[in-house]
Chains A and B, each alone.
Chain A
Amino acid sequence: MSTVLDKLVNRPYQHGFRTEIEAETAPKGLNEDIIRLISTKKSEPEWLLEFRLNAYRHWLTMQEPTWPNVKYPKIDFQDIIYYSAPKPKKLKSMDEVDPELLRTFEKLGVPMNERAALAGVAVDVIFDSVSVATTYKKKLADVGIIFCSISEAVRDHPELVRKYLGSVVPTGDNYYAALNSAVFTDGSFCYIPKGVKCPMELSTYFRINTESSGQFERTLIIAEEGASVSYLEGCTAPKFDTNQLHAAVVELVALDNAKIKYSTVQNWYAGDENGVGGIYNFVTKRGLCKGVNSHISWTQVETGSAITWKYPSCVLLGDNSMGEFYSVALTNHHQQADTGTKMIHIGRNTKSTIVSKGISAGYSNNSYRGLVKIGPRADGARNYSQCDSMLIGSKCGANTFPYIQAQNATAKVEHEATTSKIGEDQLFYFQSRGIGTEEAVSMIINGFCKDVFQQLPMEFAVEATKLLGLKLEGSVG
């Protein structure tokens, strides 16, 4: 049986190809001149250059965090290219998009135009740090929604960007957030005006393309009073040997009665079966429930990257606000994941829910790390956490590090955790009913992850189910 599982686990990465598009590339390394170059290339206003330089100067004083339960060689930040962009082109329609790029999306199984039409999804495509196409923009503009690249937002809506950028994740928040604030090249911006319910799922597909170009996306989503939006982020990257650093920052702001749902399916190159190569994914994602009754929900399906260091969090400032975190993290081969969430209860009657499902296979190591903090003013705060781990094979590891800090006696905090293992007997039960091992594993895993998948938008849930099946067709033992 273990040979079947091994075969499944050792299936090569199917999205390992790279697209030949001419890139304009800055020299390797990081200093104030590079930051000025990025800012100039993007024709940014002075305040943004200052924002970047402040962040950079702060970053120079900081230390790389060593507390995550992951191991990797020291990153040489001077050996990274901080700016690379396809030659600027003006695109009026999808027809003008580089056919090579479209072919790339097709190889990934994401035919953008078809997808947009079929699923009603507006796709803001991030390709090597510069947005090359934005669809459905007009339809969204009709209801007053701004959905564009952050560069465009800086140009067209500087007052909004200036007001909110860094308001949830300050430039000096942590080592990688500071680095991102200094050198971010692009990302998405979304603004939902007062009372508007976004009529469609907003979606961005990220893809890292140029070898050793670090990716530093910056995403900012603002939902005004009574607004609501569901945002999807999906990632996949081509196969390279050198490690690629990815340090994104995502900031969400929900005002009174607003709701933001942020879903991620992440399938970046994880390195080969010996742990060579793969993306380092060091991401800071945080949502601020600023207004009363506001609601932020994170759903993530993490299957890729050599190393994942990621804690999508909610700061529950407004009274009666609510934060949710639903996560599936799958690791295989030599992947390492240290992921979880922080729920910071500040306002009264704030509620949070955490459902984390970790799946480890091969030689991988999967840790859940979560903080539930109840502040002194957070009367009646409630948290429910459930952290389940599943082991596939006997060479992988799973850890749970739950931190609870309660400073208010009226708070209720619950934590449940389980660990299980896909065993020979479970698989045999399926086989004895005619179901092959691969399908059995996929079914068991999907059953295990059901509580999280239910939170995903329909078409994303289908994709995630397929992705896990694919990933485990090479990671069960």
Chain B
Amino acid sequence: MLNPNGKILLEVRGLTATVAGYEILKGIDLTVHAGEVHAIMGPNGSGKSTFAKVLAGHPAYTVVSGEVRFEGKNLFDMSAEERARAGLFLGFQYPIEIPGVSNPGFMRLAYNTVQAARGGEELDPLEFDEFVREKMKLLEIDPSFLERSVNEGFSGGEKKRNEILQMAILEPKLSILDETDSGLDIDALRVVAAGVNRLLTPENACVLVTHYQRLLNYIVPDYVHVMEGGRIIKTGDRALALELENRGYDWVVDEYRARNRVVA
């Protein structure tokens, strides 16, 4: 843990959400302090990605009940872009291609918009070029990314790297990385993980949504949560991730059911 006295960044209480009438999130509780790394694991369809998208404000999802506070402010009072400006970042599982829109132009607009909201200084194209090249060097990203349209024709790994680059540029307080490891070979995984580690400070925090414990060999979490059926059913430390790797998810689910039967 980078900051044992970190203030609360994110507080989720009893969050339920639906998509197209189906309830996907069924009451989530989660608290994230500055300086922490959380991993959310779980089988396919457990609601991990939905949780990430709901926090970022995806319009397809409807929040039914519960409360989410980001640095004390009601997150659901903010539009998706306001959340981003306030320092929330979503690294997408499948970053979308935007043909014809230049990657640096897009990133500069994002940077300047976020800077303007924070009272920071905006950069002109030349200054931004210098700034972004510095970040790219740090993250071992090929300069050719600056010649291309946003994600257009990018391989899966390139898209993920481009997400991490955006994270580096926007310097969010809370980064939610949705399956950032999926589709990466081991070398790409190492590079992406190293990038994330470099960006972690005692003042920010990271929530990793992942299927596999593999990523957690490189980015060491302080907490590991298991999500199933739209709820967090178990929380532990890094050892839990290793146990999940060995034993799968079924035992956690069984345990949870048994516990709830007793409670009920």
Contact check: which of B80, B85, B100 meets A428 at CB < 8 Å?
A: B80
When the two chains form their complex, are residues B57 and A439 in contact, meaning their CB atoms are under 8 A apart?
no
A433 with B84, Cβ < 8 A, contacts A428-B59, A439-B109, A447-B149 known:
yes
Asked if B239 CB lies within 8 Å of chain A CBs, one says no
User: Chain B residue with minimal CB distance to A437?
Assistant: B81
Contact check: which of B56, B60, B81, B149 meets A435 at CB < 8 Å?
A: B81
When the two chains form their complex, are residues B114 and A444 in contact, meaning their CB atoms are under 8 A apart?
no
For A450, what are the chain B residues with a Cβ–Cβ distance below 8 Å?
Answer: 100
User: Chain B residue with minimal CB distance to A428?
Assistant: B58
A434 with B85, Cβ < 8 A, contacts A424-B59, A443-B101, A443-B106 known:
yes
For B166, what are the chain A residues with a Cβ–Cβ distance below 8 Å?
Answer: 433
A433 with B98, Cβ < 8 A, contacts A424-B59, A428-B58, A428-B80 known:
no
- Chain A interface size band reads 20 to 34
Contact check: which of B59, B79, B100, B170 meets A433 at CB < 8 Å?
A: B170
When the two chains form their complex, are residues A431 and B101 in contact, meaning their CB atoms are under 8 A apart?
no
Q: Given the complex of chains A and B, what is the CA–CA distance between A4 and B108 in angstroms?
A: 24
Q: Given the complex of chains A and B, what is the CA–CA distance between A435 and B106 in angstroms?
A: 9
Asked if B95 CB lies within 8 Å of chain A CBs, one says yes
Contact check: which of A432, A443, A447 meets B80 at CB < 8 Å?
A: A432
For B170, what are the chain A residues with a Cβ–Cβ distance below 8 Å?
Answer: 433-434
Contact check: which of B60, B89, B98 meets A429 at CB < 8 Å?
A: B98
Asked if B92 CB lies within 8 Å of chain A CBs, one says yes
Asked if B189 CB lies within 8 Å of chain A CBs, one says no
Interface string of B41-71 (1 = CB under 8 A from A): 0000000000000001111100000000000
A435 with B113, Cβ < 8 A, contacts A424-B60, A447-B101 known:
yes
Interface string of A418-446 (1 = CB under 8 A from B): 00100011101111111111010001101
Asked if A384 CB lies within 8 Å of chain B CBs, one says no
Closest chain A CB from B122 CB (angstroms): 12
For B79, what are the chain A residues with a Cβ–Cβ distance below 8 Å?
Answer: 431
Asked if A1 CB lies within 8 Å of chain B CBs, one says yes
Interface string of B108-125 (1 = CB under 8 A from A): 011001100100000000
Closest chain B CB from A449 CB (angstroms): 8
For B84, what are the chain A residues with a Cβ–Cβ distance below 8 Å?
Answer: 431-434
A447 with B109, Cβ < 8 A, contacts A432-B80, A432-B84, A434-B114 known:
no
When the two chains form their complex, are residues A426 and B81 in contact, meaning their CB atoms are under 8 A apart?
no
Q: Given the complex of chains A and B, what is the CA–CA distance between A439 and B98 in angstroms?
A: 14
When the two chains form their complex, are residues A443 and B90 in contact, meaning their CB atoms are under 8 A apart?
no
Asked if B183 CB lies within 8 Å of chain A CBs, one says no
Closest chain A CB from B82 CB (angstroms): 8
Q: Given the complex of chains A and B, what is the CA–CA distance between A280 and B101 in angstroms?
A: 33
Contact check: which of B56, B81, B95 meets A436 at CB < 8 Å?
A: B81
When the two chains form their complex, are residues B92 and A429 in contact, meaning their CB atoms are under 8 A apart?
yes
Q: Given the complex of chains A and B, what is the CA–CA distance between A122 and B137 in angstroms?
A: 48
Q: Which of A420, A431, A450 has the most CB of B within 10 A?
A: A431
When the two chains form their complex, are residues A431 and B60 in contact, meaning their CB atoms are under 8 A apart?
no
Q: Given the complex of chains A and B, what is the CA–CA distance between A444 and B101 in angstroms?
A: 6
Q: Given the complex of chains A and B, what is the CA–CA distance between A451 and B84 in angstroms?
A: 31
Q: Given the complex of chains A and B, what is the CA–CA distance between A156 and B207 in angstroms?
A: 77
When the two chains form their complex, are residues A447 and B99 in contact, meaning their CB atoms are under 8 A apart?
yes
Q: Given the complex of chains A and B, what is the CA–CA distance between A124 and B89 in angstroms?
A: 52
A1 with B101, Cβ < 8 A, contacts A429-B95, A431-B79, A434-B113 known:
no
Q: Given the complex of chains A and B, what is the CA–CA distance between A1 and B61 in angstroms?
A: 12
**Across the A-B interface, the 4 shortest Cβ-Cβ residue pairs:** A447-B100, A447-B101, A433-B110, A431-B80
List 15 extra interface pairs beyond A434-B85, A434-B110, A434-B170, CB under 8 A. A428-B59, A429-B95, A432-B81, A433-B84, A433-B106, A434-B117, A435-B81, A436-B113, A437-B81, A443-B101, A443-B109, A444-B101, A447-B99, A447-B101, A447-B149
CB pairs A–B below 8 angstroms (13 shown)? A420-B99, A428-B57, A430-B81, A431-B79, A433-B113, A433-B114, A434-B117, A435-B110, A436-B113, A439-B113, A444-B100, A447-B100, A448-B100
